[in-house]
Amino acid sequence: MTVRLSHLFLRTLREAPAEAEVASHRLLVRAGYIRRAGAGIYTWLPLGLSVLRKIEGIIREEMHAIGAQEVHFPALLPKEPYEATGRWEEYGDGIFRVPDRKAEQIEYTDENGEAQHVRVPNHLLAPTHEEVFTQLVKDVAGSYKDLPLNLYQIQTKYRDEARPRAGLLRGREFIMKDSYSFCLTEEDQQAAYDAHRAAYVRIFERLGLPAVPVSAQSGAMGGSASEEFLHPNPVGEDTFVESPGGYRANVEAVTTPAPQPVDSADAPAAEVHLTPGTDTIETLVAAANADHPREDRAWTAADTLKNVVVAIISPEGERRIAVIAVPGDREVDLKRAEATIGPKLGIDGEVQLEAADEADLRANPALVRGYIGPGLTLDAPQLGAGLDAESVTGIPYLVDPRIVAGTRWITGANEQDKHVFGLVAGRDFSWDGTIESVVVRDGDPAPDGSGPLSARRGIEMGHIFMLGKRYAEALGLQLLNAEGRLQTVTMGSYGFGVTRALAALAESSHDDKGLIWPLAVAPAHVHLVATGKGEEIFEYADQLAGQLEAAGIEVIYDDRPKVSPGVKFGDAELLGVPNIVIVGRGLKDGTVELKDRRTGEVTELDAEAAAASVAAHVQAQLQMGLGRVSPR
């Protein structure tokens, strides 16, 4: 339980790697916990593995506490079960597909006219394991007597991230805990979901990592109920909102309270006006107030209808165009739109969404940049100079929930330098669907009426789903129920980012000197530093290390000879063990120092009783909830 730095495979760095964007990446590399092996791929060194195993230990304890049993699947899997559920195609370029030597070969002619052969991928490096968990239960379980059942594993996953970044926070190889519940009744499934949710709360408490459960989208996983656990942190890629009344959700899952339809029976006919040089909302509003003022108030951006052209890339790589209409005072959030646009247009699987480029606009001449308006549905006329020109474009037209029947708008006339004033939704134009797509702003109303929303950034740490019967039906998981009839099993899925938890702890618990680990996951309880030239200092430190080890205290002991005190103190602060014991000049006066890495507070201890004092200090920290060390 004592690790001597003179023998530890460790090299700390003064400078951070050039590619490091966030503090956790910089510090984990500098402190010798990980090393980069490739883009988004990292090698674990002894200290990093020590922290990782403690996190895994806490997770295992809490999984076992709810009756989950551990299994372990291979990372390399055949494609057939993923074909059965449709996810072989749905994942698109997001997974690693690989052929083996028996894979089918296809022949093609290259650009030089020479015949080439390529093997067709028939395996994948698993991004997640729903399919094989389902198959395992199908193979082993016999009837309702085997259920409810909770299985889990801690396993490496692989995803072909287009832009791996932030070290362990978004890598191409990472470790997850994924567990699955299998039940025959909705009541049992709800109980399993609730048990996992409670276990996650306890895990985060033990890790010392604040995490907020929020409503979320299920994405490619499918299913109904879905919650994410987000660690509030400004480097997080997720945005969530909360209200004073307790509503919390990932912005992708926020729904907009739609206004009531407006009675427009007496609304005058829409008119097209010449509006040269008004290809932005700002210039359009200025021109409207200057040339077409209204009597009651000034025109604002909220009176305009902004039409945003987006490109949708399907899992198969097909690119198609759609137009999203939002009030002119709002901005489109592509990530929010990406979460729901696929089902709106009948596209299975996860899609990618990006702003349309010049090539997209050239391929669709009906889209007049800066002057796009409604009329782009499959069955509605395209508005022109006389508002009645017939032209079908075949471009889907989706609108924000705030655009309801009877609302009146200024919007593009689909002609250069022309806009339509007084265009009435539902009377003058229709749409193909409603979609949540705008940036959620501070002050927007919560969907449940619990007050105004405020937004925060967070790191996704876990995601739990009510999967329902999607995977069981696709793979034929049916068991005999109590009546002797075959019944399809219902499932839940519960993911936890193990390596991401380590990175999040590093991200949230550090200072300008280095890491500061919670005691529960630190590579040791105590970092013992022997500094000085006298042999008696090292002799005493050796004895103290042995006494602490005998008391069950984990120790990293800096016993390196001929290393300056400055380097030793710098390494101790960089490595982040929460308690630093310094044996140095004070020993001649019968004292050693105990430094709290979190607060910087230094306490002098009597050298003869130091082992007992330090052991009691550590045990008190553990009992105070500063961390429980999982069994080894």
> pLDDT (tens digit, 9 = 90+) per residue, 242-280?
999 999 999 988 999 889 999 988 999 999 999 999 999
User: What pLDDT was estimated at residue 347?
Assistant: 83
The three-class DSSP label of residue 606 is: strand
Q: pLDDT tens digits for 304-342? A: 999 999 999 987 788 999 999 999 999 999 989 998 898
**Res. 624 pLDDT band, cuts 50 70 90:** confident
Distance in angstroms (rounded) separating the CA atoms of residues 630 and 4 = 22
Compute the 3-state secondary structure of the chain and give helix, strand, coil in percent, each to the nearest 5.
30, 30, 40
Question: Crossing angle, helix 498-508 and helix 46-65, to 10 degrees?
Answer: 110
- What pLDDT, on a 0 to 100 scale, did the predictor assign at position 92? 83
Distance CA 438, CA 436 (A): 6
524 or 265, greater pLDDT: 524
Classify strands 397-399 and 408-412 as parallel, antiparallel or unpaired.
unpaired
Query: Nearest to residue 437, comparing CAs of 255, 279, 313?
Result: 255
The answer to whether residue 112 scores a pLDDT higher than 90 is: no
- Looking only at the bridges linking them, the beta strands covering 555-558 and 526-530 are parallel
- What is the pLDDT, as a whole number, of residue 198? 97
31-66: b (≥16 Cβ within 10 Å) or e: bbbbeeeeebebebbebbebbbebbbbbbbbbbeeb
Span 28-72, pLDDT tens digits: 999 999 999 999 999 999 999 999 999 999 999 999 999 999 999
CB 380 within 8 A of CB 414: no
pLDDT band at 129 (very low <50, low <70, confident <90, very high): very high
- Per-residue pLDDT averaged across 506-526, rounded? 96
pLDDT of 629: 33
pLDDT in tens, 472-484: 999 999 999 999 9
Query: How far does CA 139 lie from the centroid of its chain?
Result: 32
CB 478 within 8 Å of CB 182? no
Q: Which residue type sits at 414? A: N
334-368 per-position pLDDT tens digit: 989 998 898 888 887 778 899 999 999 999 888 89
Span 187-197, average pLDDT? 96
Q: Cα separation of 69 and 148, whole Å?
A: 12
Greatest CA separation found in the chain? 98
| pLDDT > 60? residue 440 | yes
Is the separation of the CB atoms in 175 and 129 below 8 Å? no
pLDDT surpasses 60 at 105? yes
Which of 132, 137, 125 has the alpha carbon at shortest distance from 73? 132
Between CA 411 and CA 275 the distance in angstroms is: 11
Mean pLDDT, the chain, rounded, equals 91
Antiparallel, parallel or unpaired: β 238-242 and 454-468: antiparallel
Residue corresponding to tokens 């390494």: 571
Tell me the three-class secondary structure of 525-547, residue by residue.
CEEEEECCCCHHHHHHHHHHHHH
Whether 616 contacts 552, CB under 8 Å? no
- Does 631 have pLDDT greater than 60? no
According to the model, what pLDDT value does residue 217 have? 72
- With 70 as the cut, is the pLDDT of residue 382 above it? no
pLDDT tens for each residue of 137-146 = 999 999 999 9
Asked if 469 contacts 488 with a C-beta cutoff of 8 angstroms, the reply is yes
Q: What is the mean pLDDT of residues 541-569?
A: 96
The sign of the torsion formed by the CA atoms of 335, 340, 341, 343 equals: positive
3-state class of 403 per DSSP?
coil
